[in-house]
Amino acid sequence: MKINRRNFLGAVGTAALSMDALGATTFYDSDEDTTGGGGAAMQSTNKVVILLAHPDYARSVANKALIEAVKGLPGVTVIDIYAAPFTVDTYKQPVGEASTVVFQFPFHWLSAPSQLKKWCDEVFGGVMDSIKGKKLLVATTTGSEYEAYRSGGRNQFTVDEFLRPYQGLAHHSGMVWQTPFIVYGASLPTAPISIEAGAESYKERIQSLL
């Protein structure tokens, strides 16, 4: 079945994580040691850390599908910031070891859920010394269709425009801003098709960063 990618995907992005239910697993590191014939362990040169900001992941459909598509990929670390301890020590090592940091969340009232703002306010400063030069990607899902986020559309502005504060954060901290990964229409009748196609593209994007 061919799918009009514009209907669900604004730009192919990157992310990864693994969780069966909200709080069931708050930290997941899928960087596996793989040895062949007794040789030295081989690990990914690049690593991705995903900070999941979903206030009700247990009931999630779109974000959960994205996660299921990428869990188990070597070099991926996932932290659910709604369930993990909210301390700098929780994030300092995984962020420091990563080459890409991903903010993943459902688009919530034209922005991210509140916990991500709190994370930026209270934790980001504590990892600033190890974050310069790393890539920053936003991966988000919207309930509305692509056309709603156009000039003259129902929401007047593009998702990229709504995400400018995160682009500014990347610039301010010396990170390298990446084109956001956006899955549109998660609340529409066509959502199953959009989400499935989006999950496949999500996996491709993550693999390109590892």
Q: What is the CATH number of the domain that holds 109?
A: 3.40.50.360
Spell out the alpha helix ranges (H) of the chain.
62-70, 88-97, 114-122, 124-127, 159-162, 164-173, 191-208
The domain of 142 spans: 5-30+44-208
Instruction: For residue 172, tell me if it sits in a domain.
Output: yes
Provide Rg for the chain, Cα atoms: 17
- Report whether 148 contacts 155 (CB < 8 A): yes
Q: Domain tally for the chain?
A: 1
pLDDT tens, 18-60?
333 333 334 556 554 433 444 333 344 799 999 999 999 999 9
Assigned domain for 38 exists: no
Establish if 186 belongs to a structural domain.
Answer: yes
Please report whether residue 39 resides in a domain: no
CA nearest 49: which of 73, 83, 68, 22? 73
Residue 80 lies inside a defined structural domain of this protein:
yes
Kindly give the confidence (pLDDT) of every residue in the chain, 210 residues in length, as a single tens digit, with 9 standing for 90 and above: 344 444 445 433 333 333 333 333 345 565 544 334 443 333 447 999 999 999 999 999 999 999 888 888 998 888 999 999 999 999 999 999 999 999 999 999 999 999 999 999 999 999 998 999 999 999 999 999 999 999 889 999 999 999 999 999 999 999 999 999 999 999 999 999 999 999 999 999 989 999
Q: Are 7 and 61 in contact (CB under 8 A)?
A: no
For residue 36, being part of any structural domain is answered with no
Specify if 35 maps to a domain: no
Q: Which of 17, 193, 161, 205 is nearest to 94 (CA)?
A: 17
C-alpha dist (Å) from residue 208 to 75, 94, 181, 201: 12, 19, 13, 11
The verdict on residue 95 lying in a domain is yes
